[in-house]
Chains A and B, each alone.
Chain A
Amino acid sequence: MVDKIVIENLNLQYADGTESLRDISLNIPANAISVLFGPAGGGKSSLLRCLNRLNDLTEVQTVAGRILLDGEDILDPQTDVIALRRKVGMVFARPVVLPLTIRGNLTYGLELAGEKRKSRLDEAAERGLKLAALWDEVRDRLDDPAIALSGGQQQRLCLARVLANQPEVILMDEPTSGLDPISTGKVEAALQELKKDYTILLVPHSVQQAARTADFAAFFLQGELVEAAEGKELFTHPKQKRTEDYVEGRFG
């Protein structure tokens, strides 16, 4: 398996002194779903936000270590952050639907990048919607306000919007935490298709979801990486006692 992302000795400390990641070293395989899981406050979101440098905009005191994306250190101050964020897309826990039409939401990222040709924009919108398994539900009402969609559809719209940007890596922070089981199933099914072409990092909202979706899994506890392994392996034969306890629901 090729490693898309290599994290070496990553440390992260927020301005208020919270040490939310301690000496994390982790390899993320390409074309697979990697699941980062663990109890609240473990540092999963913090890690995701390092991967697209979204932490630049919050009050962070120190980020040390290296994060190599295709061999290039993205923590390097020289990195073009805007280009990085197009390459590494992110879907949040609560769908952030912009006050535009469905089409407007989809083409937003490309328009920001300066794309003006309508054919290109429409093409990207359609591709994103198809990949996110939303095309059939909205194809006839692309010009309606996006806010009229249901919560589950909105979340898939956010996924479609990221995909329209043609990223290489997709970060998802509890993308299904607000969704019903059927919508959740649709998102998970879409991910199974998408992993053929993309590298996916998913913070699941439950251990069950972690076990269901993981090709590769990493267990985080209070800023530490306890254990990382192939999904089946980690959920059936965890090496660490703490992982086993958490997976079997004995704490957390």
Chain B
Amino acid sequence: MAQKKLNWQEFFIPRLIKASGYSAILFVALIFFFLLREGLPALTEVKLGDLFAVRWYPIESHFGILPLITGSLIVTLGAMLIAIPFGIGTAVFMSEIAPRWLREILKPLVELLGGLPSVVLGFLGILVLSPYLRVFLDLPTGLTALAGALLLGGIAVPTIVSIAEDALDAVPYSYREGAWAMGATRWQTIWRVTLPAARSGVLTAIMLGVGRTIGETMAVMMVTGNAPVLAIALTSLFHPVRTMTATIAAEMGEVANGSVHYHVLFFIGLVLFLISLVVNVTASSVVFKSKKRAERVLS
């Protein structure tokens, strides 16, 4: 009897696990397929030259998505410029410099920050950050790409800190001792031994940070001003921009199902999907390469 029950479990549980594993792939494939089905018609309905143009004004059938792509890129790049040094700096501080008690306070705090809903942060952005920027930089409006970059940077920092800190923490203590015993200063040890040894984890942290920023919608929509203008100059940082995510979120609700506008919005979704795919694939191939090296080191 017991034997039978065991067999039954042996039969079902692995299959269940397998099924849930495969379903993840299936879902991604389905999403991709759906995006293709709804988005690709845009290519036949709008001329390619008009699609990759600089004017986004759907009411008059101007469907140029370049301002939206550049808007997303400038905000994301700005956010990463802020979040990467700050996030890794904080992670290094927490794992290598801070005394243990401080670290035990900081770690849960960072994780708490990471869990804050972005709407809340968007509120802070509107009420505190952008008025301050407007006054401080003497701009006509504080709702700019810069506000979006600052806010998104802030949103990405906890992700980066938490994962990078775990990676640094996993570097064997003997590496550090080895470097100290060679006469390395504390800083040299961090820069030339600990960080390189934790490289793959640190890269993962950065990539997840990028992912978080490029996909973020709510907070960006609230603080960037949402003006679809081409953002390719450095000064664009101080003007309102509109990102791809914000456009989809704002317009999808009021668009006629199956219209050109509808298809173009899905096409934007497709572009976003491809961007995050590229980011992820690059990240995992880099991480995979350096992981193989790290494994050889530790074996």
Residues of A within 8 A of B (CB): 52, 54, 57, 82-83, 85-86, 89-90, 92, 94, 96-99, 108-109, 112-113, 145, 147-148, 161-162, 165
Contact = CB atoms under 8 A, between A and B. Distances in A.
Interface of B is mostly: helix
Shortest 8 CB-CB contacts between residues of A and residues of B: A96-B178, A86-B183, A90-B181, A85-B183, A109-B182, A99-B297, A112-B184, A147-B296
B183 A98 contact: no
Contacts of A162: 182
B218 interface: no
B296 A54 contact: no
B47 interface: no
Given A96-B175, A99-B293, A52 B182 contact: no
A98 B293 CA distance: 12
A94 B181 CA distance: 14
A96 B181 CA distance: 11
Contacts of B185: 82, 112
B92 to A, nearest CB: 16
Given A99-B294, A147-B296, A52 B181 contact: yes
Contact of B182 (A57, A97, A148, A165): A165
Contacts of A94: 174
B48 to A, nearest CB: 48
A112 B185 CA distance: 8
Contacts of A89: 181-182
Size range of the chain B interface in the assembly: 20 to 34
Contact of A92 (B174, B196, B297): B174
Contacts of A92: 174, 177-178, 181
A52 to B, nearest CB: 6
17 contacts: A54-B180, A57-B177, A92-B174, A92-B181, A96-B174, A96-B178, A99-B196, A108-B182, A109-B182, A109-B183, A112-B182, A112-B185, A112-B192, A113-B183, A147-B296, A161-B182, A162-B182
Contacts of B296: 145, 147-148
A120 to B, nearest CB: 16
Contacts of B36: none
B61 interface: no
Contacts of B179: 98
Contact of A96 (B177, B192, B196): B177
Contacts of A161: 182
Interface in B161-176: 174-176
Contact of A54 (B181, B197, B293, B294): B181
B193 interface: yes
A57 B176 CA distance: 10
Contact of B183 (A112, A145, A147, A148): A112
A98 B184 contact: no
Contacts of A99: 196-197, 293-294, 297
B20 interface: no
A109 B175 CA distance: 14
Nearest to B100: A59
B282 interface: no
Nearest to A146: B297
Contact of B297 (A85, A90, A97, A109): A97
B188 A112 contact: yes
